[in-house]
Every structure is written in structure tokens, then in C-alpha cells.
Chains A and B, each alone.
Chain A
């Protein structure tokens, strides 16, 4: 029997385990929407802007570990996805983005709503496809899912010309996907694992740096066990937050530009840096030539290009972080069953503990003064007891969230780490809430960032998603203002956000609830009230306008050249 391209695509999506897709209709995919209506088990979530669709699919994926799926039309629908795709690409998030395309016979003719989206997204997708033959449809879409979720995950785009969607063909389901040119390495080389442990044998001041790869490969438990077994202090990148409980005595907090004093000094002093699933972003390393100057480096990553890209590595380990952690643990246990690691690392553990105690993350809240943004994050942590999915936008509020929420579980902080995309927060929170309907989902956002995708509030309201949007409202593009204050002579050019809507009325206009908090004395009670509502809500918290994020390593400086409070 023959099926239309739309039917084949939908059957393929179902077999890939897709039950919802984030999308927006248009001319060339109207046939597909027409068909979707016949399949109630495949639920389209209609956003208000295609960028929102991609961020929502991204948030869905980050929260659940599953592949997020988007469906948009050709031309402007497709170009609107680019920022979302690049965001997912930078953070290795598995997405399949389906774009409509003009019919194949019009491709190259500057047809109405034609754009070469495959060309445009080539550098920001893991891979992409233009399907020209309906007989390749099922197989190609299946390859797209396979590529998105395997190896180092990432977004894959599939461009679907209208004639492919309306054409007819047999449905052929490829049971196995094999691509001879694509064979990611999962199993680490045993010798390299042994060499890693040999490095640990002789190290006096070992340190683990955990990145997003630990979360991607679901290796948090193994990493934690390894650190606790061998008594190794742990720091993490922004993407690695939640891979190790920040409440553990071994946790040093986040490293890098806004990392803790203890973490940055530990990097400076360690003689063995074990980097697990992090790629040494410049926001982590600071000045490269001064990064971990005393350390031998073990680098575990599934992507060989991450290794030796910028930091000199002594023991490269290519493979899946979880398998590598398991392998290393096994070797450590069999070789050192009786070793008292706590005793052997005592001096080092004392040193890092001193750093933690002497210069913890700090701020001062005057009870009668303006609300400090850090107080809001701490209050949210208390009220939720850490049992929530926290999503952020980009800026100071993102850093305060990372510093003060005290993450203990993987997939509880969803944030745009690599691309730093303002406007990520609200749509990603929507996606996370779709993935985990029973969880409390809180977007901690900036007054600038939230305006970049505010239209998605409508998506939350229509779909009855009780997301809570907490605006740390400093009426500034605060992070940029901070740089202007510190390095540009307080020349606040272009960073005022005093021109902003009344967020409470705005929430109400969309059919959500709106709250405003202006006094520290009311912070807890008002937040508690707002979090309790079953409706989506905006909570506009007026905070100290010129609070800064500290510590701060100025761009291009070494990690031990931190500006402290």
C-alpha cells in the first residue's frame, strides 16, 4: 500500500517514540498539519515564534534526555529557528528540526518563501539533510534521530520539500541504521583508563572538572562515586552543574569567569586535573597560558576534537563519560582496595577547605534596603527545597542562579551555556514543563532577556503550563552594565532597560497571573504565594539595580586574578 509523505513522516516519528512536537504551520507544511490532526497520539504544541519552538524542544530534551522535535515551514519559518539550533548545537542537545521546503522543481528559483536552510544551518547542526526522494524519507528521518541522540548529541535538520510530503510511496521501515562514515567511540581504551589511574596514584592535589558531558551521558552517579571513593575535590562548568551535589564537602562550586575562589585557586594549584565531559570553554579557562599551570591533564570526552583543541592533555580518553567513570572506578577499586585516600589527600583537602571557608560566595542583604538578586535565588532554593527544574536566561541572573541555587541533581539547571542566548528561558521552561508535568518549573530570567521571547507566555497559558517566571528586574542589561562599570568607566551606553512594560499587567493581558515584589520583608511570603498558584505566573522582583556578580575574572585574565566582592 502507498502512503503520502506526510503519513510516512508521522509514522516514522511515532516509531521513534515522539509524542509531541513544537511547531508552527505554513504554506508548504499545511499537508503535514492536515495529517497530524488524524493522529491524536502526536501532539503539536503551537508556539508563537519559531525560535520559541526550538528552545522549547531544547528544554524538553534537557529536562528529559529525549530527542526534542520541531516542525516549521519554509523560508522565514526556517530562518527563525537558527538561533535555537545554534543554542542546542553549542550545548550538545539532541534535536530533530523538520523544516518545510518549496517543491523540488522550484528549488534554486528564488521561489516564494524559499531559503537554503540546509546551507544556512550547516555550521550549526551536527548534520543536515534535504530529502529529494520520498523513498528516502523514512530512512533519512530515522538517520536524523540516530545522529541527534548518538555520540556527542546535537541538533539535526531535515528539509522537506512540499512534493515529498504530498507524494506517495510504500512505507519501508529500516530496522537498523548503519552509517559507515559515522562510528562514535563509546568504549574508552582500557590502557588510557589505566594510565589515568596511574596519574591518580602519584598525584598529590588531584581535582575533577565536570562538564555537561557528565549530564548528557547520565554519569552523575558514577562521577560522584569516583570522587567520593578517591576523595577528590570537584568543580564544574556551568553546563556541569548538577553533575555533582554542590552540597558535598568535596564540591568547590563552579569554575571560571564567575567561579568560586576555591575552584579557581584549585585549578591553579592542582597537579592532576581530571576533566570529564567539559571542553575548556574560554569562560572556564580564562587566560589559556595560565590555566592549570601545575597540572597533568586527563581529558575524557566522546568528541575527539574537544581533546587538545586548546588545553595540552597528557592522557586523552575518547569515549562515553559514564563508561569511562565505570572503568576508572573498577581499576581504582581493584588496585587500591585498601588505600586510605582521605589520609593521602588530607593536606590538599584541608587547603581547598580553607579556601572555601575563607572566601565563600557572598553578598549582603540590608533588611530595609533593596532586594538583592542573590536573596531571591536563595529564597527560591529554600521554598522549593531544591526540588524544581530551574531554567535561566542569560546575564547576571544566570550567574547568580548558578552560584546560589545549590544544584544537587542532574538536569535541574537548564541554561544556554555555550551560545549564551538571551530569550532561551521562557520557551525552554515550557518545554521542560511539557516533559515533566508534575515538576515545579521555574524560569529565573532577566528583564532584558525575558522580552526576547515574551510571546511564548501565550503558549504557556494556552497549554495550561504552570511555569513560574521570576524576573530579577534590575532595569538594566545587567551583565553588560557590569562590564561597563568595571572596564568602561561606568559609561552605561545602551544598557538601560527602564523602558519596559508593566510585567504584571502584561502577564494578565496574556491570561497569566502577575506578581510584583519590591520589599525584602515580603520576598518569602509573596514568592511562596506565587509559586503555589496552578497558573502560569510572572513574578516581577525589583532588585538592587547595580549589584555585580562576583568573583569575576576579567576577560583574558588568569583564573587566580579574580576580582572579589
Chain B
């Protein structure tokens, strides 16, 4: 079956156990969790989770139903057929000795990343983009030597309807 990456947006009541309920659902039922991001939503007392996961359509259907079944989950959206903006941020520390610095900076330019910290032989780069873009940056910078990498996991939001 076709196992694909899926982005789920989950709105939850912000009660103390809710993260554990969601995480426990994935571990207890053997579902994959690729990234998970939680933060307060616009409305007071509500949190927003963005979960990226892998699975075939039957598994994704089951994940969505199971999430819905959690009593404090308000809404579950999957961005497969819904146009969405997806963004993720990452910080990468790369080896940056003398002659290579220029080349790293050029790569940073092309991807519109920012250098946020520099030392004589390292550079820390901040990158924002969708999943594919960040994967591309990582694979390009790998040749310079990545010393550390942290990512936020994806955030996603439905695109506004175009009135045409």
C-alpha cells in the first residue's frame, strides 16, 4: 500500500493530560509520529497540534478516527486534499572553516536562510520552509559537515479561498 507523509492539524482542549493522550495513542497503537508541535491556539484554553505521520490510507483513517475519539479533541483536519501552507523552522550548525565560508553563504542565500550565529570555524543557520525545502537544505549542507540540527516540526494552515 502507498505509505505517504501526512500532516494532521488537531485542535484540543488545553487540559493537563492532552499531550499525553495524543502521544499515548500513537505509541499504544503502533502508529508513527514523525513530528509533533503543540502551542496555544487563538482561543483561550485551546491548543493546536500539528502532527506529521506516515501511513497508508487505512492507517491514516484509523489515526484520524482514534484522535477524534479522545474526549478532549475538538477537531482533526488532514491536509491531503485541502490546500494548505506548511512551514517548519530549523537551526543548523555547520562546520565553516576559511575557504568554505563563501560557499556556505551562497547556499544560504539561494534558500533565503539567515546566519544567526558565527564563530571562527562554525556557522549557525536559520531556515524556514516546507518539509521538502528543509530536506533539500540539509542534504546540501551535509557536505560541509553538520554539527548540530534542531527542527520545530511542521506547522500547517489551510489556505484562504481565492475569490475568482
- Residues of B44-88 at the interface with A, using a CB-CB cut-off of 8 Å, are 58, 61-62, 65-66, 68-69, 71-74
Inter-chain contact count A-B, CB under 8 Å?
A: 37
B16 touches A130 (CB 8 A): yes
In the complex, B119 has a CB within 8 A of chain A: no
B71 touches A147 (CB 8 A): yes
B137 to chain A, nearest CB (A): 38
B24 touches A123 (CB 8 A): yes
CB-contact partner of B62 in A122, A182, A305, under 8 A: A305
> What does DSSP make chain B's interface, helix, strand, loop or mixed?
helix
A123 touches B28 (CB 8 A): yes
A304 touches B68 (CB 8 A): yes
- Residues of A99-134 at the interface with B, using a CB-CB cut-off of 8 Å, are 118-119, 122-123, 126-128, 130
- Chain B residues with Cβ under 8 A from A337's Cβ? none
Which among B13, B58, B65 has the greatest number of chain A C-beta atoms within 10 A? B65
- Residues of B1-31 at the interface with A, using a CB-CB cut-off of 8 Å, are 12-13, 16-17, 20-21, 24, 28
The CA of A20 and the CA of B72, in the complex, are separated in Å by: 29
A305 touches B21 (CB 8 A): no
Supposing A304-B65, A305-B66 touch, asked if A122 and B71 sit within 8 A by C-beta, the answer is no
B116-136 toward A: CB 8 Å interface, digit per residue (1/0)? 000000000000000000000
Interface size on B, residues (CB 8 A): 19
The CA of A304 and the CA of B61, in the complex, are separated in Å by: 10
A166-191 toward B: CB 8 Å interface, digit per residue (1/0)? 00000000000001111000000000
B65 touches A181 (CB 8 A): no
A308 touches B71 (CB 8 A): no
The CA of A123 and the CA of B25, in the complex, are separated in Å by: 8
The CA of A127 and the CA of B71, in the complex, are separated in Å by: 7
- Chain B residues with Cβ under 8 A from A343's Cβ? none
The CA of A127 and the CA of B69, in the complex, are separated in Å by: 10
Supposing A304-B65, A305-B66, A309-B62 touch, asked if A126 and B71 sit within 8 A by C-beta, the answer is yes
Determine the residue in chain B with the shortest Cβ distance to A147: B71
- Residues of A258-315 at the interface with B, using a CB-CB cut-off of 8 Å, are 303-305, 308-309
The CA of A147 and the CA of B72, in the complex, are separated in Å by: 12
A122 touches B24 (CB 8 A): yes
A118 touches B62 (CB 8 A): no
A308 touches B73 (CB 8 A): no
Determine the residue in chain B with the shortest Cβ distance to A306: B65
B58 touches A308 (CB 8 A): yes
Supposing A303-B69, A304-B68 touch, asked if A181 and B13 sit within 8 A by C-beta, the answer is yes
Interface residues in chain B, defined as those with a beta carbon under 8 Å from any beta carbon in chain A = 12-13, 16-17, 20-21, 24, 28, 58, 61-62, 65-66, 68-69, 71-74
Interface residues in chain A, defined as those with a beta carbon under 8 Å from any beta carbon in chain B = 118-119, 122-123, 126-128, 130, 147, 179-182, 303-305, 308-309
Query: 4 shortest A-B CB distances, which residue pairs?
Result: A127-B71, A181-B74, A305-B65, A304-B65
